[in-house]
Amino acid sequence: MPSTIREAGAGDWPRIWPIVQDVVTEQQTFPYDPAMTESEARQQWLVPAPARVAVAVDGDRVLGTANRYPNRPGPGSHVASGSLMVARDARGSGVGRAFEVDLVGWARRTGFAAIQFNAVVETNAPAIRLYESLGFVTLGVAPEAFRHPVEGRVGLRIMWLEL
């Protein structure tokens, strides 16, 4: 699927929201409130600078979105983090990998020492395979920390890439 990654603008939100809404209401991959309103989701996803929000586009269509930010403020701000969602019908075509390669490049250029994902759902095989293929390792698992609608309580991994 031909796609370009670029910075998201405020005008992209109407095409980002259906992707976020689908992922959040499904409750299989993100520990977000499934009842969150559009304006709450907008505030949470469109993180302010120096954090960044990206979209993958094919012409006018938004195929996916990712954001990236320091994992913690102050003394924790040398470690980056981020979140990623690809539209259901655009998955499996390289969009997620392109976002993650972009994230790693941005984090290196910006001078971050590492990237940490704080809550990767243990049953999310596509995400875990993608992150491991880029060199991320699992530091630990918070057992049964996520209520999966099909699998019941499953673990949340902390994943880490040393830069």
Ligand X SMILES: CC(C)(COP(=O)(O)OP(=O)(O)OC[C@H]1O[C@@H](n2cnc3c(N)ncnc32)[C@H](O)[C@@H]1OP(=O)(O)O)[C@@H](O)C(=O)NCCC(=O)NCCS
- Three-state SS for 60? coil
Which residues inside 34-73 make contact with ligand X, applying CB under 6 A? none
CB of 14 to ligand X, least distance (A): 19
Phi, psi at 38, each rounded to 5°: -60, -40
Q: Is 84 in the site for ligand X (CB under 6 A)?
A: yes
Residues in the chain: 163
DSSP notation for 135-157: T-EEEEEEEEEEEETTTEEEEEE
Q: CA distances (Å), 146 to each of 89, 142, 149, 153, 154, in order?
A: 25, 9, 10, 5, 5
- Region near ligand X per CB under 6 A, out of 68-76, 89-97, 107-115, 146-154: 89-97
Which residue in 130, 134, 141, 163 binds ligand X (CB under 6 A)?
130
Which lies closer to ligand X via its Cβ, residue 66 or residue 112? 66
Least distance to ligand X, CB of residue 120, Å: 5
Q: Which of residues 100-129 bind ligand X (CB under 6 A)?
A: 120, 124-127, 129
Closer residue to ligand X, CB minimum distance, 75 or 89: 89
The rounded distance, in Å, linking the Cα atoms of 122 and 159 is 11
- Closer by beta carbon to ligand X, 3 or else 52: 3
Token digits of residue 2: 């031909």
Catalog residues that contact ligand X under the rule CB under 6 A. 23, 29, 84-86, 91-97, 120, 124-127, 129-130, 133
